Structure 1
């Protein structure tokens, strides 16, 4: 597991390249290495998980193929045997060491042979110099890039703050970003909040040469597995697949742990992992005091039944303002889910307890129809409008309230373009008769990588922890994709087949409990008198909002008044979302600034990363 970065034909000094590396040190504290050639450079910050004494990056094959890699390859032992039979030799047993030989044998199609999570960069000098970037099928390992078509320069990095330290990359905010963010809680697709900065989509290969420029190729998805005959058979097969994947994912050359929220998904992973890893440690986070949606007692029950050594992490809400700036920094752009703060604190506790790997239950809701918005959309009678309500449920701030909060000039700008919500609605509206298939495709292919997986990746690696996701493994994804709609959602229930797979493994209280969101109870916490409320009031003061001119200060004040008089999740999440956006502006796009990331990079290297 690493952080990677590099460039093709960009003018970057050694000092600037080391600055990029320094800004990702948290994700790879064990080694910082690079390879530099004529017109290219590759670098890596290593978090040593597999074969800690080996695995020196960049990986090389002769003088012509150089590779850096972020991720984990679970089939590297099988690949090594195959490649050895073809005459290749390896000096260590690190997973990434197989990549140069695999690329030499199969060319750009080498990714077809990989089982795992990855972002990979290859420089191939055998013919015309070529840079190749590739991401895994689900998007577990993000890769950001900036391409200048005029000069033919490309820069890339695993994290946004590091990418912004390249002198070619300008930290200009993308003007529609605020509306996109409030409409979908974070930018979707390959968009970021920075003009000219993109993120490589899942299952995508990017190549750059001097003669052809930049080309993007989206790899065809693997076919869905055959559908089962009965729900019971499907539940049995899901359990088999998850058990197999969890057995593989608990293997590591460093201590492994598991995140146990107390909900179905992470509890099932915990129960299966405990059977394969005696002495497993589990972690749960809760908040000091009495708050809604407290799941700690469910997590304790799961831990007790599974036999794990359980760690209860408790976060003081008074510490939220101090943590939130770091959270926004590591994400690099706004994400409106308050759980980002808890995720950051939880992975920090995992690291402090001595663990470098943590299994999680992420992506089960997307694959198995676990969200209420999916159930609600499926309940709309044939011919009815299910799209509008579903799209509105994705928003951090409802459309009517968004437009009320915008300044007149920004509202006029927003109405002059097609919004993110309109784009999502258009895509779903043309999806055809199989409503659940369209929703699952959107949830897994668009929302999951942008909103969920990047958050998990950045906030786990901020604490030097590798998050492993059994539900994102190809065998589970392919099988879940092929399940009939009724096996997932029906009779007012969600994730039906997954509940069947968990029977006999989890306490009855967990299986019978109503679904509740795994998130920060921001509606109850963001009230007058709290540290969070005072922090939000300060950051969203009228004098600050006028600097960028996108929000109406009087309307934001009205939102504070509404939350004070009638506290609700609606107004609290809106305020939280605006607070996060303002923090992001403050760190990355100050009004009247130079439009570069030089100041942010210098401050980070001199302060945040100097420790």
Structure 2
């Protein structure tokens, strides 16, 4: 697990060491164990390493003596590296260590840009092929895993044909020639979807590779991106069985590590299953009981899940850590999370996620297993149930899109200035595109649940959940592993009939032998922060949000009507509600991100 970066330009000078050092410094938190950069005329390739697999070997960028023109860097884990090494050794390749990424130059030498089709894991890979004698010629190849667990952000400069990439946006912005501006639709996208969406980021000129994509960059050319066929679960030795069998197989694969491993336990079904199976594996391996972590807040706050998390830990017999965060710290955590994410994310869970992984690292753990991805694959969200129950002729897609938002469509349009509403009417919004995708899928014959899970896993999950987990776990040099996002579980979920996926029925059945009845029978509740209470009169986040939403700031931005935002705040203070609090939070996070953008020396308002 690492942070990676690099550049590729035709006929350019060697990048300045000071520039590359600045890029690395902005994401060094994710790779504190080792730092290495290689560069030459028109190219650079760097890595900040978090040593997990073969900590004493695996120096990046990876190079093999018999392939001097092929360099590679890896962020993530390749779980089938032992099998790949055996296969490649039989074809004459030799390796200096047993690190997972060491196989990458040889795998590329055998298969070219199709190398990623042979990888099982979570990964963002960059390979520089500097050989000039072959048919391909020099090229940069970028690839990310099928679910988008490990992102890579890309900037292409059409003026000189150069391409630069990095694991994190702040690092990418440290390249001297990367000069871009916030997207005009970024505020609407954040309020409509809570984060940047699709392959776009909140910054015009910076994209993120979509899940399961490979990009090939030839000298002076724009990256050519294609989606790969899904990784076949047979290549991961996926078992045949029920949900419990399939998940058990993936948990055991991911629980093996040369570094200390723990589990995140929210108190819900998904993380509870992962916790129970991690503990089962430890007992059968005669290993000590695993450690589990749960975040709560000091004082009395609504919607606490601590009792459910304790019940899961007792049943699994883990060493349980209940991390009690001081609410007075939340204001400072907000700035840190926005800076680490590099773009706005309007879900208050970001603060909780950051604080939780801080506690994991401070307790001495490098690897944490989490339950992300289950709702998207197994139909667990309330918005899915509502869409399935919607009668014929109802606007289920519009209601679904509204359920994704920080502020529903009617509220957004009420808050926007006439000029901003006119801009969105001309250009369209993220919500419009989501509704169209859902309706189109149903129109061509997909059942409604399949249409929703396809949308969730293709766009929502990587943009909203996985990028946040990646950035905020790596902010503390913790590798987050997600069993539900592995090929075997994904293929199993997609093979089920809609009736078994609706409401996570298959997972509830899997949990009957593993989890307390109280957890199985509890109402569904996302792991989050009680934002309505935190923004109520006297709440610890109220002053921060009030300052960020001052009329002077909002008038200067020109996108929302300051008077209506103030009325919304007054209404919330008189009668606190989750919906109004979330809308205010989304507006505030976008304002704070605008400040962070300027702090990174981006010329706001300039053309890309």
TM range (shorter): over 0.9
Map 1:198-597 → 2, pairs under 5 A: 198-210=207-219, 213-222=222-231, 237-277=242-282, 278=287, 279-432=289-442, 433=445, 434-489=447-502, 494-589=503-598, 594-595=603-604
Give how far 1:411 is off.
2.2
Give how far 1:266 is off.
0.2
For 2:184, the equivalent position in structure 1 comes to 175
CA distance in 2, matches of 1:258, 1:224: 24
Does 2:206 correspond to 1:197? yes
Tell me which moved more, 510-519 or 358-367. 510-519
User: 2:247, 2:489 within 8 Å by CA — same for their partners in 1?
Assistant: yes
Give how far 1:239 is off.
0.8
- Secondary structure at the aligned position of 2:156 is classed as strand
Partner deviation per Cα, 1:184-209 (whole Å, 9 max, x = no partner): 11121110111111011111111111
CA distance in 2, matches of 1:430, 1:321: 42
For 1:116, the equivalent position in structure 2 comes to 121
Structure 1 residue ranges without an equivalent (≥5): 226-233, 598-611
Give how far 1:224 is off.
8.7
CA distance in 2, matches of 1:170, 1:453: 26
For 1:229, the equivalent position in structure 2 comes to none
Structural RMSD (CA): 1.8
Does 2:41 correspond to 1:31? no
TM-score calculated relative to the size of structure 1: 0.93
Structure 1 residues 591 and 315, CA, compared in 2 at 3 Å: closer, same or farther? closer
Map 1:135-174 → 2, pairs under 5 A: 135-174=144-183
Question: How many residues in Structure 1 have an aligned counterpart in Structure 2?
Answer: 585
- Secondary structure at the aligned position of 1:90 is classed as coil
Give how far 1:420 is off.
0.8
CA distance in 1, matches of 2:401, 2:392: 18
Map 1:42-53 → 2, pairs under 5 A: 42-53=45-56
CA distance in 2, matches of 1:313, 1:39: 48
- Secondary structure at the aligned position of 2:523 is classed as coil
User: 1:6, 1:155 within 8 Å by CA — same for their partners in 2?
Assistant: yes
User: 1:2, 1:45 within 8 Å by CA — same for their partners in 2?
Assistant: yes
Give how far 1:384 is off.
3.4
Structure 2 residue ranges without an equivalent (≥5): none
Give how far 1:91 is off.
1.2
Tell me which moved more, 530-539 or 46-55. 530-539
Give how far 1:418 is off.
1.1
Structure 1 residues 213 and 290, CA, compared in 2 at 3 Å: closer, same or farther? closer
Does 2:85 correspond to 1:80? yes
User: 1:235, 1:497 within 8 Å by CA — same for their partners in 2?
Assistant: no
User: 1:76, 1:95 within 8 Å by CA — same for their partners in 2?
Assistant: yes
- Secondary structure at the aligned position of 2:544 is classed as helix
CA distance in 1, matches of 2:600, 2:293: 41
Structure 1 residues 464 and 590, CA, compared in 2 at 3 Å: closer, same or farther? closer
Structure 1 residues 88 and 532, CA, compared in 2 at 3 Å: closer, same or farther? same
Partner deviation per Cα, 1:561-611 (whole Å, 9 max, x = no partner): 0111110001100111111111100110479973499xxxxxxxxxxxxxx
CA distance in 1, matches of 2:490, 2:101: 23
Partner deviation per Cα, 1:523-571 (whole Å, 9 max, x = no partner): 1111122231011111111112222222211111111101111100011
Structure 1 residues 199 and 301, CA, compared in 2 at 3 Å: closer, same or farther? same
- Secondary structure at the aligned position of 1:66 is classed as strand
Q: Which consecutive aligned stretches of 4+ in structure 1 deviate over 6 angstroms post-superposition?
A: 590-593
Partner deviation per Cα, 1:39-59 (whole Å, 9 max, x = no partner): 111000000001111110000
CA distance in 1, matches of 2:477, 2:220: 39
Give how far 1:337 is off.
0.8
Partner deviation per Cα, 1:408-436 (whole Å, 9 max, x = no partner): 32222222221111111111111134111
Does 2:19 correspond to 1:16? yes
CA distance in 2, matches of 1:523, 1:274: 35
Give how far 1:126 is off.
2.3
User: 2:233, 2:488 within 8 Å by CA — same for their partners in 1?
Assistant: no
For 2:2, the equivalent position in structure 1 comes to 2
CA distance in 2, matches of 1:592, 1:469: 35
User: 2:160, 2:220 within 8 Å by CA — same for their partners in 1?
Assistant: no
